[in-house]
Amino acid sequence: LDTRKPRKFPPGPNWLPILGSALEVKKSRDKTGYLYRSIKQLSNTYCKYSPLIGLKIGKDRIVMVNTVEANKEMLHNEFIDGRPTGIFYQTRTWGERRGVLLTDGELWKEQRKFLIRHLKEFGFGRSGMSETAVVEAEHMTQDILDIMGEKKSATIQMHNFFNTYILNTLWTMMAGKRYNPSHPEMVLLQTILFELFAAIDMVGCSFSHFPILSILAPTLSGYKDFVRTHKRIWKFLRNEIASHKSRFDSNKEDKDFMDVYLRVLREHGEINTYSEGQLVATCMDMFMAGTETTTKSMSFCFSYLVREQQVQKKAQEEIDRVIGRNKTPTLNDRPNMPYNEAIMLESIRHFMGRTFGVPHRALQNTTLAGYNIPKDTMVVSNFPNILMDDDLYPEPYSFKPERFMLDGKLSIPDHFFPFGLSKHRCMGDVLAKCNMFVFITTMLQRFSFLPVPGEPLPSLDHVDGATASAAPFKALIIPRMQDE
């Protein structure tokens, strides 16, 4: 029975008992090096012209959505608005369904609305957001100058350079706090998060497809590490909440999102979907969804800027012309700087062009692109198939900001939606774009990023995982001279 596909299920490889199509996916992944390339290869083999490919990995039925039209249809279909359930998605929140990133139904609706409404009070989507980004960009500049010291140049490991500053912009709103990049707890947390994201896929990992492995082979299946990493993050967040609680004064104005949430809990108790656990999970979701994505888009950005010096020069010319060398860039400059904005969009394209969307789940039997999608099937946007499509983006693996420009103005095509669409659309797109614009322009205003002499250029390969990351690389950073 396990090998029989549901009627009119999207085409794809055959299903073996218990394993489903896992072996074939693995074989193809080993050959191509990356999960998204293996899905492309399997699509070419089994269903070249189909907008969907249907797989089964262990217990999970997974449908990958390959085309622009089918993705639009999927993201607007309310019957595919669920998020997956099961050991992988629940272990991260101590066995319960909590948070905003991987939940659905009433809890997700109520908490998403509350989060968006109250984050605005602390600058989210408003001018305060740009001010926070500017403060972090100043810290970044100063930190680079400190590393340079007398030498007037520095060779810096870039793939994770932006992590803490990006986290700080989010954490300022969530918890009213910022960290120095050398803060030991931060370094540790970010290292384990990076490792975690490299060890799992957007559609899960071995113990999520084969839950029995969490008992039979907890170490080998990655289950033990998964739990260990999450326990660390919970501890970090619970400590922060405890410190907020200890200094909470109901007569004083709330300073950050944690204060607002704790006030609700104090005044009304754990009612409806509100609970302290939900607060921990929401912070963890923002932490994970907010930092990994933006940091990795930035790492792609700078790995290409180091390789493509003419792109960097063109961006610096625009900065000099519009802002000059002395005024700090802010979000207000964005409408006048289409080339720098196009660099930001091209960086996001390179990141999401190697990353799948956050999985959805069919809440009931439904249809998509003419195929049947049974209840509880996982449905995933295959962003790489769209964002690296030769027809939509000629020479897709080249870094060409010009593809987002027309007659000197910014031009964003209808088929570019790397933040998703409709109800589950990314909650942080405005923050991500604000941070990226301010960080890119401030860095290029003050410094040039060059290849390290005697070392190879940043690799075009990347690190596979739940989200893709540019391969680790270094840049030689030099300050820009006034007469340059």
Q: Which is nearer to ligand HEM, 215 or 397 (CB)?
A: 397
8 A C-beta contact, residue 131 and residue 123 = yes
Is position 427 an interface residue for ligand HEM (rule: CB under 6 A)?
Answer: yes
107 binds ligand HEM (CB under 6 A): no
Residue 84 vs 222, nearer CB to ligand HEM: 84
**What are the phi and psi torsion angles at 82 (to 5°)?**
-80, 170
Residue count at the site for ligand HEM (CB under 6 A)?
A: 26
Stretch that binds ligand HEM, among 22-30, 272-280, 315-323, 418-426 (CB under 6 A): 418-426
Would you tell me how many other CB atoms lie within 10 Å of the CB of residue 103?
Answer: 25
Least separation, in Å, of the C-beta of 306 and ligand HEM? 20
Q: Does position 156 bind ligand HEM by CB under 6 A?
A: no
> Applying CB under 6 A, which of residues 130, 294, 366, 469 lies at the interface with ligand HEM?
294
Rg from Cα positions in the chain = 23
Query: What phi and psi values does residue 123 have, to the nearest 5 degrees?
Result: 105, -15
Under the binding rule (CB under 6 A), the answer on residue 54 touching ligand HEM is no
We find the least distance from the C-beta atom of residue 210 to ligand HEM, in angstroms, to be: 25
Q: Which of 5, 72, 109, 112 binds ligand HEM (CB under 6 A)?
A: 112
**Among candidate residues 76, 43, 55, 51, the one with its CA nearest the CA of residue 6:** 55
Query: Smallest distance from the beta carbon of 76 to ligand HEM, in angstroms?
Result: 10
DSSP 264: H
- 200-to-57, 327, 356, 466 alpha-carbon distances in Å: 14, 43, 12, 5
Residue that has been written with the tokens 């089994």 in this structure: 46
123 near ligand HEM (CB under 6 A): no
Nearer to ligand HEM, 15 or 257 (CB): 257
> Is 285 a residue that touches ligand HEM (CB under 6 A)?
yes
Phi-psi region of 314 (alpha: psi -120 to 50; beta: other; left: phi over 0): alpha
Cβ atoms of 284 and 234 within 8 Å: the answer is yes
Task: Rule CB under 6 A: say whether 478 interacts with ligand HEM.
Answer: no
Under rule CB under 6 A, residue 430 binds ligand HEM: no
Q: How far apart are CB 247 and ligand HEM at their closest, in Å?
A: 25
Residue of the chain from 39, 284, 289, 468 that contacts ligand HEM (CB under 6 A): 289
**Which residue of this chain has its Cβ atom nearest to ligand HEM in the complex?**
428
Minimum Å gap between C-beta 381 and ligand HEM is: 7
**How far is residue 229's CA from residue 251's CA, in Å, rounded to a whole number?**
37
Annotated binding site for heme: 426
Provide the pairing of β-strand 378-381 with 60-65: parallel
Binding residues are: 426
Torsion-angle region of 33 (φ positive above 0: left; ψ -120 to 50: alpha; else: beta): left
Minimum CB separation from ligand HEM for residue 77, in Å? 11
Q: For ligand HEM, which residue of 66, 111, 172, 297 counts as binding (CB under 6 A)?
A: 297
Angle at 427 between CA 423 and CA 429, to 5 degrees: 115
Q: Which residues inside 67-96 make contact with ligand HEM, applying CB under 6 A?
A: 75
Residues numbered 317-376 forming contacts with ligand HEM, rule: CB under 6 A? 348, 352, 357-358
Helical spans, DSSP H, in 270-354? 276-307, 309-322, 338-352
Pair 179, 189: CB distance under 8 Å: no
Identity of the amino acid at 323 = I
Binding site for ligand HEM (CB under 6 A): 75, 100-101, 112, 170, 285-286, 289-290, 293-294, 297, 348, 352, 357-358, 418-420, 424-428, 431-432
